[in-house]
Structures are given as structure tokens and as C-alpha cells.
């Protein structure tokens, strides 16, 4: 008889599984003890060491093995099952904590990178950054800054659920993998989130803060490296910041001719140098 021990600890997250495990182990233990009794009693009877007739000895041995062995093995199996259940729950909590940002409750950067590796097809990467976040911390204190992070996280979590996913990448920077719809629809979702954040006063620690958020978007098309997509989204975010913040820039928008006069000279020069390097790499 072969009974699975369910060695994977994840199976023991359900308490019902513990009782099934104990029942199986008890049945296996009693069955094995009965087999041992049936093998030992005949030689003992042949040597004259059995104080009762063989048939009676078999009956007594099997009954006692089921009564005593069954109870003992059940208790031991339950103890072992509960221990494995606690270990499984602890492991699941640890795994969740290792993938979750403590303050925001969103995925952390490591978990977001893993999700990014699995994303493909109709999806884009959006990187959000709270505008002038350092000034908020300096003026109102870090408690207010934490409240801003929590409020932004709550809106991102509500806006990008289901197939999409949001994460806190660090500090005041957030990321989202927006899945489904056309490129225009995904971009509009990001713009809607930024507009909602701009219209939401955040109250904390006897202060009310109005924030704006800038975002850069890059497409996660098939065959494109995730590092390249992240770099493109980061450049788009940098451009959104340089254009005055509180805006969303898609990588495909490029540098609109009307934007050039609003950019600092060093930003325009940096973009020209970056474009020249990209052309050199392609050549």
C-alpha cells in the first residue's frame, strides 16, 4: 500500500488536510502492525511460546493493534500535522512579507521584477513618481510623507487589480504593469489615475497636502527586453518631470516640437546626446 505523505508544506495550509493526513497515517500504522503480528505469531506458536491458541492470538493482536496502535498513531500524526501546518503558514507569511512593501502594502521591487518578467503581449509598464516629495517631507514631516505614500498606494492598488499589478519601487516611485486594451486605452488609464491623485487632498498629522504625480510609459511588446522597457519608461518619466511635472508621457510621443522651448538647455542637450548614442548603437 502506497500513501502520499504530502511532503510539500503548502498542502498543510488547510486544516482539513491535517485530519486527512492523520487518518491516512493511522490507517497505515495499524495495517503495518497487523501485518507484523500475522508474521510473528506463527513462529511463536510453532516454538510453543504462544500462551493462547494461534487463532485467538491473531484476533487479540489485530484488535489491540487497532485500538492501541490506532490511537497512538492518530495522536502522533495530529501533532506532526499541526506542526507542519504552523510551519506552512509561517512560510507563507514570510514569503508574503518578502514580496510586499511594508508601508504601502503593494508588491516590492523584487516581486514587481518577477511579474515584469512574466508580462507579455497587450501590456505596458508605467512608472509613477510623486512630484516634489522631498519638499513635502521637509515642510510637513515624514509622518505626512508616509501618509502620502499610503494614499497613493491605495489608489494604485484599486486602479490596477486583476490582471494588472502595482508596486512600490522605492521612495516615492511606483510601478504598474497595465494589462489589456489598446495602447491608447492603457495610457488613458494611467492618465486617469494621475488625475485622480491630483484631485485628492491627503490629510495626515494636522496637515492637508495636495500632490501631483508624473508618469512615464513604455510598451511591453513581445521580444522586447524588460530592461529596455524599464529604461524607456524611466526616460519618459524624466521627460514628464522636465516638462513641468504633473503629466504623463508615453515613450512613443517623443519630444513634441512645442515642448522644446519649455525644457532647460541641459535637458535638451542630454536628450540630444542620448539620441546620438542610440543611433550609434544601431549603426
Evaluate whether 88 touches 6 at the Cβ level (below 8 Å).
no
| Residue that is written with C-alpha cell 519618459 in the block | 236
Catalytic residue among 95, 114, 117, 172: 172
Concerning whether 172 is annotated as a catalytic residue, the answer is: yes
What residues form DSSP beta bridges with 217?
126, 250
Nearest to 131 by CA among 233, 240, 253: 240
Q: What phi and psi, each to the nearest 5 degrees, are found at residue 237? A: -65, -40
Helix (H, G, I), strand (E, B) or coil at 169: strand
Q: Which DSSP string do the residues of 108-141 spell out, in sequence order?
A: -HHHHHHHHHH--SSEEEEEEEETTHHHHHHHH-
165-170/173-179 β-pairing: antiparallel
- Give the active site residues: 172
Amino acid at each position: 500500500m502506497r500513501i502520499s505523505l504530502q511532503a510539500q508544506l503548502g498542502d498543510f495550509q488547510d486544516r482539513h488536510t491535517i485530519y486527512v493526513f492523520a487518518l491516512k497515517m493511522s490507517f497505515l500504522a495499524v495495517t503495518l502492525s497487523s501485518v507484523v503480528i500475522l508474521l510473528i505469531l506463527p513462529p511463536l506458536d510453532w516454538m510453543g511460546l504462544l500462551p493462547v491458541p494461534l487463532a485467538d492470538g491473531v484476533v487479540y493482536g489485530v484488535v489491540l493493534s487497532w485500538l492501541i496502535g490506532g490511537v497512538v498513531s492518530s495522536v502522533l500524526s495530529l501533532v506532526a500535522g499541526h506542526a507542519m501546518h504552523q510551519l506552512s503558514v509561517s512560510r507563507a507569511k514570510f514569503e508574503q512579507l518578502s514580496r510586499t512593501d511594508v508601508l504601502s502594502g503593494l508588491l516590492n521591487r523584487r516581486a514587481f521584477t518577477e511579474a515584469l518578467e512574466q508580462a507579455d503581449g497587450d501590456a505596458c509598464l508605467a512608472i509613477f513618481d510623486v512630484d516634489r516629495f522631498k519638499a513635502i517631507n521637509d515642510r510637513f514631516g515624514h509622518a505626512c510623507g508616509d501618509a502620502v505614500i499610503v494614499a497613493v498606494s491605495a489608489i494604485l492598488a484599486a486602479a490596477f487589480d486583476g490582471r494588472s499589478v502595482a508596486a512600490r519601487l522605492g521612495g516615492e516611485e511606483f510601478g504598474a504593469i497595465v494589462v489589456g486594451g489598446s495602447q491608447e486605452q492603457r495610457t488613458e488609464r494611467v492618465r486617469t489615475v494621475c488625475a485622480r491623485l491630483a484631485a485628492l487632498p491627503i490629510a495626515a498629522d494636522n496637515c492637508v497636502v495636495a500632490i501631483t504625480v508624473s508618469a512615464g510609459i513604455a510598451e511591453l511588446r513581445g521580444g522586447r527586453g524588460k530592461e529596455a522597457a524599464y529604461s524607456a519608461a524611466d526616460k519618459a518619466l524624466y521627460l514628464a518631470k522636465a516638462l513641468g511635472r504633473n503629466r504623463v508621457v508615453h515613450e512613443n510621443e517623443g519630444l513634441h516640437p512645442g515642448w522644446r522651448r519649455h525644457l532647460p538647455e541641459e535637458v535638451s542637450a542630454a536628450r540630444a546626446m542620448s539620441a546620438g548614442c542610440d543611433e550609434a548603437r544601431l549603426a
